[in-house]
């Protein structure tokens, strides 16, 4: 039966099941201006896996002189491939090979490092390179022109596939650039096709600075799925600099996107250019005034929202809320999640909040239990015709 008020019927591509990747340990922590302890990073990687997350970004394999938050990259990769961790997964009925571990490798030297670690037995399953449709923004991130980078990416994809590593090609500045301003969707669609034409395994479509309003998210992803219909090829990546994170997730769901990324507490943002008081390079000056207002779409809130919509994520949401509470202690400040403050939406009567005086007042007034309108009123309300004509 058709229900014109049902979003899943209104938007035919809208999924009932999605895949959620967590990128806290890489993208979330890269923004922090103090070093997050390696033991904490390992703890969260393990606990997120136990909670049902099957895609995770472990670290950045780039030069730690530029981003010292990732100087422990190799130690983290060893930890997620350790025999002890595999045994702990097995006890929970989880297969280690069902979890996909990703590392960021913006340049070829980092790709080579990923391949070397793979040969040692603890490298990533998937790595990521990135282009921006705005060449100025791309140059700020990679130090190359776009033509140079495309050739480099093509070489790297061949190397990765020979080593048994997947390559994700990221397209950034889709909805605008913090450097050059407005950009064109048509360029991002073409860049997506370009990545796939040179062998990329999937595409991250990134709103890296919170520039995307929901209507344009829906338009862009509808264009993408018209051009390249397989939803498994597309990952939605949203920042919440202006507070539009979950609204953009909804718009992408309506367009038909099935793969999403988020961070615990909505952490993340531009790589820090100070870590533990030491000036570093990062990607240069921050694009924003207040470092506390940037971040990615909040994993906890996205999961709770999807659960309320009846969308299957396969993740233990209550455990994620517990992890979110701990994450605030690790990071040292209040994070973005509203759900860890307010919890899940109640599904049962909460007896402790009932007011015992209500039944007594209804009895005193001569009202029946459950009666909600005066006894002499009609059972159904009728709106006056004059009101309907206004």
Q: Of 219, 204, 198, 213, whose CA–CA distance to 171 is shortest?
A: 204
User: What pLDDT, on a 0 to 100 scale, did the predictor assign at position 294?
Assistant: 81
Q: What pLDDT, on the 0 to 100 scale, is given for residue 377? A: 96
Burial 340-376 (b: 16+ CB within 10 A, else e): beeeeeeeeeeeeeeeeeeeeeeeeeeeeeeeeeeee
Residue 283 has what pLDDT?
Answer: 74
**In this model, does residue 336 exceed pLDDT 80?**
yes
Contacts of 8 (CB under 8 A, 6+ apart): 14, 16
8-342: which CATH topology?
Answer: TIM Barrel (3.20.20)
Q: What is the mean pLDDT of the chain?
A: 95
- The answer on pLDDT for 347 being more than 90 is no
pLDDT recorded at residue 89:
98
Contacts of 223 (CB under 8 A, 6+ apart): 185, 189
CA 307 to chain centroid: 15
Contacts from 190-197 at CB under 8 Å and sequence distance 24+? 191/131, 191/133, 192/224, 192/227, 192/228, 193/227, 193/228, 194/150, 195/131, 195/153, 195/169, 195/171, 196/169, 196/228, 196/233
As a whole number, mean pLDDT of residues 364-377 equals 96
Indicate if the pLDDT at residue 192 is higher than 90. Answer: yes
Whether the per-residue pLDDT at 66 is higher than 90: the answer is no
Q: What's the pLDDT tens digit per position in 88-144?
A: 999 999 999 999 999 999 999 999 999 999 999 999 999 999 999 999 999 988 999
Residue 290 scores a pLDDT above 80: no
Give the residue from 118, 128, 192 showing the smallest Cα distance to 156.
128
Higher pLDDT, 241 or 253: 253
User: Please, which pLDDT band fits residue 18 given cuts at 50, 70 and 90?
Assistant: very high
Once rounded to an integer, what is the mean pLDDT over residues 265-285?
A: 84
Q: Are 352 and 358 in contact (CB under 8 A)?
A: no
| Token pair of 200 as six digits | 């990329």
- Token pair 């209040």 is found at 334
Rounded Cα distance between 218 and 252, Å, is: 6
Q: Mean pLDDT, to the nearest integer, of 256-267?
A: 97
Predicted local confidence at residue 271, as pLDDT? 83
- What pLDDT score was predicted for residue 67? 87
* Strands 166-172 and 234-238, sheet pairing: unpaired
Residues 19-25, mean pLDDT to the nearest whole number? 98
Q: CA neighbours within 13 Å on the CB side: how many for 385?
A: 0
Q: What confidence tier does 32 reach under pLDDT thresholds 50, 70, 90? A: very high
Q: What is the mean pLDDT of residues 282-290?
A: 75
**Structural contact between residues 127 and 104, judged by C-beta atoms closer than 8 angstroms:** yes
Distance CA 218, CA 318 (A): 30
Tokens 């991250």 correspond to what residue? 204
Whole-model pTM: value is: 0.94
E strand residue ranges, 23-140: 55-60, 100-104, 126-132
What is the pLDDT confidence band of residue 279, given thresholds at 50, 70 and 90? confident
Residue with tokens 């979950």: 246
| pLDDT classification of 285: cutoffs 50, 70, 90 | confident
Lowest mean pLDDT among 63-77, 105-119, 193-207: 63-77
Q: Which is nearest to 60 in space by CA: 23, 14, 12?
A: 23
Q: CA angle, 287 as apex, 148 and 111 as ends, to 5°?
A: 35
Q: Which of 1-10, 97-106, 323-332 has the lowest mean pLDDT?
A: 1-10
Strands 19-22, 259-262: parallel, antiparallel or unpaired by DSSP?
Answer: parallel
**Given a cut of 90, is residue 322 above it in pLDDT?**
yes
- Structure confidence at residue 379 (pLDDT): 93
pLDDT of residue 105: 96
pLDDT above 80 for 182: yes
CA–CA distances in Å: residue 379 to residues 234, 372, 374, 376: 51, 10, 10, 9
| Domain locations in the chain as residue ranges | 8-342
Tell me what pLDDT residue 355 has: 95
> Is 80 exceeded by the pLDDT of residue 162?
yes
- Distance, in Å, from the CA atom of 356 to the CA atom of 349, rounded to the nearest integer, reads 14
pLDDT, residue 278, reads 86
């Amino acid at each position: 039966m058709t229900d014109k008020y049902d979003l899943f019927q209104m938007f035919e591509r809208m999924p009932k099941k999605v895949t959620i990747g967590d990128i806290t340990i890489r993208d979330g922590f890269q923004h922090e201006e103090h070093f997050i302890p390696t033991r904490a990073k390992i703890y969260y990687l393990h606990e997120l896996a136990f909670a049902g997350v099957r895609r995770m970004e472990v670290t950045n394999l780039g030069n730690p002189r530029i981003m010292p938050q990732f100087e422990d990259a190799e130690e983290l990769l060893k930890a997620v491939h350790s025999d002890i961790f595999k045994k702990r997964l097995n006890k929970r009925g989880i297969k280690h090979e069902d979890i996909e571990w990703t590392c960021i490798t913006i340049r070829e030297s980092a790709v080579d490092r990923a391949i070397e670690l793979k040969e040692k037995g603890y490298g990533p399953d998937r790595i990521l390179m990135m282009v921006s449709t705005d060449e100025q923004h791309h140059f700020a991130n990679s130090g190359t022109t776009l033509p140079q980078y495309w050739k480099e990416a093509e070489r790297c994809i061949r190397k990765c596939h020979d080593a048994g590593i997947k390559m994700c090609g990221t397209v950034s500045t889709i909805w605008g650039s913090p450097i050059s301003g407005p950009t064109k969707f048509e360029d991002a669609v073409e860049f997506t096709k370009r990545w796939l034409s040179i062998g990329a395994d999937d595409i991250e479509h990134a709103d890296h600075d919170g520039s995307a309003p929901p209507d344009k998210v829906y338009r862009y992803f509808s264009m993408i799925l018209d051009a390249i219909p397989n939803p498994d090829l597309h990952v939605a990546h949203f920042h919440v600099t202006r507070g539009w994170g979950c609204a953009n997730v909804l718009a992408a769901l309506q367009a038909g996107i099935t793969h999403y990324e988020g961070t615990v507490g909505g952490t993340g943002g531009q790589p820090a250019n100070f870590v533990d008081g030491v000036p570093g390079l990062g990607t240069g000056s921050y694009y924003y005034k207040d470092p506390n207002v940037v971040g990615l779409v909040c994993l906890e809130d996205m999961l709770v929202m999807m659960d309320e919509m009846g969308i299957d994520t396969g993740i233990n949401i209550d455990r994620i809320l517990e992890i979110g509470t701990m994450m605030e202690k690790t990071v040292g400040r209040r994070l973005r999640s509203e759900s860890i403050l307010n919890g899940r939406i109640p599904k049962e009567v909460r007896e402790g909040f009932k007011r015992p005086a209500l039944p007594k007042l209804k009895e005193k007034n001569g009202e029946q239990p459950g009666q909600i309108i005066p006894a002499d009123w009609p059972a159904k309300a009728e709106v006056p015709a004059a009101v309907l004509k206004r």
